[in-house]
Amino acid sequence: MSTSGIGPEALKRLRNLSEFWGPKMQAATSDADLARICFDRAKAAAKRAQRNGQAGAMHALAGQLAQWASDMERADATRHHG
């Protein structure tokens, strides 16, 4: 993890987050479980960002998820040709 431009308190928070989420991700028993854990992590990060003044964080997360879903849906439709 690069520490350039990150103060000691922020670095500690990042380390704590890594220590919290890393084992959960490694313990996932399936891809679906891993996806759920990563979704929970992203949602927690968006909530934290909103509390810290980034009002659009949850909306930005929703936009990225919607785009990903749209891309997967389009790829699936293309594979099945109608």
pLDDT per position as a tens digit, 16-51:
999 999 999 999 999 999 999 999 999 999 999 999
pLDDT at 73: 96
pLDDT at 81: 65
Q: What is the pTM of this model?
A: 0.82
Neighbour count for residue 62 (Cβ, 10 Å): 13
pLDDT at 75: 95
pLDDT at 49: 97
Q: Is the pLDDT of residue 2 over 70?
A: no
User: What mean pLDDT is predicted for residues 54-77?
Assistant: 97
